Amino acid sequence: MIRPITAILSRNLLKLRRDKMKLFMNLFMSGLFLFIFSFVMKSSGRGLDHPMNYLISGIIIMTVFQSSLSNSMNILEDISSGFMKEIMVAPINRWQIAIGHVLSAMVVSVIQGLIIVVIGLFMGLSIDFLHATAMVALMFLVGLTFSALGLYLATLTKESSNFQLLITIVSFPLTFLSGAYIPTMSLPGVLQPFIYLNPLTYTTAAFRFITLHMENLPVADLVKAGVAFNIHGFIITPIMSLLFIAIMCFCFFVLCVNRFNSADFSRVKIFKHSH
């Protein structure tokens, strides 16, 4: 039962090792955002004890989020190459294929997130063993959540060009309204309802809570730092954010496996550039 899943996982990790340009471009974008928003953080991050660490923690979890979504396109590439047709005729279940792809996208996204963590250590980020373990665990949870969402969207769109467009439409507003790059306290009040409805807001808050060692801070300070949220007197704590992420992970995972089981891959089209 596990062997087909590990085979797909190993194969996709091998593809990552061979496609170094894709890995470089993803990391380059994270580095570019770190460089650009470091200037923004210097002006909008007043009142924060460590504004750069605040920014780095947001970029780490956004790297995991964006990588897990984009790596779900591997399923469309497998269909284009004919690899998926070979798997479908093998004596394995569709749900095993789905889980293999979700896990591979999750592992790749966590690897990219860990590279940003290492870069952050050279920029002053301080992590002990206990917090590092909690960070990696949350990165795996977030990677699993959005890898499942990405696979679900890939089976819905039918065309790789539409999938790329959909990922851009979904990820950009969610990312910039999450507080990852610009603190939610610095965003206009008119955007606050969208911030509270954004699942990435709670993902970023929970990750910052762990990464910046905020467990001993009072709730008022957590709200001030944008790690807890006061919605008309109702306080959403980082622990509640973690619970929300876990529920979201379960829902997306069930959705993507069910959708994959019923998807008609003969109708999937792959966009190719004309030469």
- The 3-class secondary structure across 139-173, one letter per residue, is HHHHHHHHHHHHHHHHHHHCEHHHHHHHHHHHHHH
Q: For the residues 14-24, what does the mean pLDDT come to?
A: 71
Q: For the residues 55-74, what does the mean pLDDT come to?
A: 85
Q: Is the pLDDT of residue 128 over 70?
A: yes
Report residue 237's pLDDT band, with 50, 70 and 90 as the boundaries: very high
Of 63-72, 153-162, 196-205, 206-215, minimum mean pLDDT range: 153-162
Q: Are 72 and 105 in contact (CB under 8 A)?
A: yes
Unique residue bearing structure tokens 């529920």:
247
Q: What percent of the chain has pLDDT over 90?
A: 26
E strands present in the chain:
229-231, 234-236
Of 37-41, 150-154, 238-242, minimum mean pLDDT range: 37-41
Q: For the residues 214-229, what does the mean pLDDT come to?
A: 89
User: Residue 26: is it exposed, middle or buried by C-beta count within 10 angstroms (0-12/13-18/19+)?
Assistant: buried
Q: For the residues 71-83, what does the mean pLDDT come to?
A: 70
Report residue 273's pLDDT band, with 50, 70 and 90 as the boundaries: very low
Token duo for residue 56:
């780095």
d(CA 86, CA 199): 37
Q: For the residues 236-252, what does the mean pLDDT come to?
A: 94
d(CA 16, CA 266): 26
d(CA 161, CA 35): 29
Q: For the residues 198-223, what does the mean pLDDT come to?
A: 91
Report residue 7's pLDDT band, with 50, 70 and 90 as the boundaries: confident
Report residue 266's pLDDT band, with 50, 70 and 90 as the boundaries: low
The pTM for the full model equals 0.85
- What is the sign of the dihedral through the CA atoms of 173, 174, 180 and 185? positive
In Å, how far are 36, 51, 104, 178, 216 from 55, measured between CA atoms? 11, 6, 27, 12, 20
- For 142, residues 6+ apart whose C-beta sits below 8 A from its C-beta are 61, 64, 65, 68, 109, 203, 207, 245
d(CA 194, CA 1): 42
- For 256, residues 6+ apart whose C-beta sits below 8 A from its C-beta are 98, 102, 148, 149, 151, 152, 155
Taking all residues of the chain, what is their mean pLDDT, rounded to a whole number?
82
- Return the ∠ at Cα 144 (arms to 122 and 53), rounded to 5°: 25
